[in-house]
Structure 1
Amino acid sequence: MEYSLFADESGTSAADKCFTIGCLLVPTFFQNQFEKEVNLLIKKHNLPNDRELKWSGIKKNYGMINLIIDLTKLITNSPVSFICKVSWKQPYLNWQTNEEVAFYKSYTMLMSYCAKVLQSEIRAKIDDKSDSYNKRAEVVEIIGNHELKNKLGSISEVKKCDSKSELLIQVADLFTGAINASHNLYLNPDAKIHKGKILAIKKVAECLGWDFLHYDTFPNADINIWHFPQEEYRKVPNTLDVKPTNNVAYVTREDVL
């Protein structure tokens, strides 16, 4: 089977204690249907269809919080999955040496893992960002396929895209941002974060049967969170099963004021 992969990142600024790369994985046969359902949810929550969906926009916008609740339910009730790698910067020695190189090493590890665990060909679109070396995406593809040699998965393409024109990169942004923010709060309880974002984190967590989003997971087909480096970060603070629920209430305007 072929999968389309849409990826984004969060937490690369110096203020964050961790960074996260998140991949939304959509079977190619289901992509058009999935995009249609996402657009219907955007309309349902009265959000403008020409506005880019971004984690940074979840503050007092209760419609955005309700959208991410429904997107979580949509993922856990469909063949789509979300896999992310949360890297704790302090013990990650490569990050201390060269942040850009470490970032793309993490990208390569995660993308290779996705292809291997799905035993599939993946075609990737990643959010464009400014790099000192402009062929990082090509390097991810080459090294990722080298790591996959003699395995069942492969990476057919890694393409940088403007997230404004890629709806499913925007969806990846929402989940990547929420998961990174929750992990960053765990690692740095004094971090400043808007109450609306806290509420969004708790609501997504509730959809998974959790209280917050700062855990790693046992491998699963819905939402998979991988902590890195594993020696220092695995099971911190705990490893949990995902137990999806569809009975999560929406928030109201008063909840975010």
Structure 2
Amino acid sequence: MVDCEVCTRTFVDCHAARQHMDAIGHWGCDTCTAEYWSKAASIQHMNAKCHWAPRFECEACNADFATQQEARRHMDQLNHWRTHWCSDCKKGFQNENNLRMHLNSNIHRGSNISCPFCRRAFATATGVTHHLETASCPNARNLNREAILAEIRRRDPNHLITTKLLTYPISSDSIEATEHCWNGDFYECYLCHREFRSLGALNQHVNSPVHKQRVYHCPSRGCSKEFVALAGLFNHLESESCGAVKFDVVQRNVGGFLSGNRLIAFG
């Protein structure tokens, strides 16, 4: 969508917007309230008064925009991102991180990481870890977030990825909300006061990782991020946002983290 420079109307493309502005004299100055009947007149004014605002150019075509938001919207709609470009898919991305995530997805890497118990295939270490932490593996129903954490903590005496806690009650007991949580309109979480339409939805919320302790941390000394679940830590590392380890290193080590007996390390 392209906005008129003077009024609030929007148009499907630049051509339609220019037709409108030519027809009723809605060519505006970038920085003041002056209005002109033609684009040439508005350009002459802005040149004379140095009234040009910063311009944001499309990475693929000759279009330019007054705001970065408009430029991004244009490039999203027309796939005009070029700086971060996947040549195989002929698709552009807004930033390097988005491109990296795309290249590391199953589109390019396939699903070559298997659950050590049921052999279900996943594209990333995050996927297989979430599968086990949520007790979704049919061959390892006893494994969940708490059981995996207990084993990881046992094999991580130097706290490479686990957080030092004064106390940590390992418990897989679920919390059950009751009808007493009804506040007259919704079922309310007494911890964060979020409201839910059904008791089942509230119970799902209170037993999710939302209110759990952050028991994992990034192994990089320069990164202070902490995580509730091992899958969250792996997702952070796979993004390579802090440079702690490379994506491939995480994939190579996930099997040892989840089913090995060695001390925790990224080898």
TM bracket, shorter-chain basis: under 0.3
Structure 2-normalised TM-score? 0.21
Structure with the higher fraction of residues in helix conformation: 1
Structure with the higher fraction of residues in strand conformation: 1
The structure whose Rg is larger is 2
Structure 1-normalised TM-score? 0.22
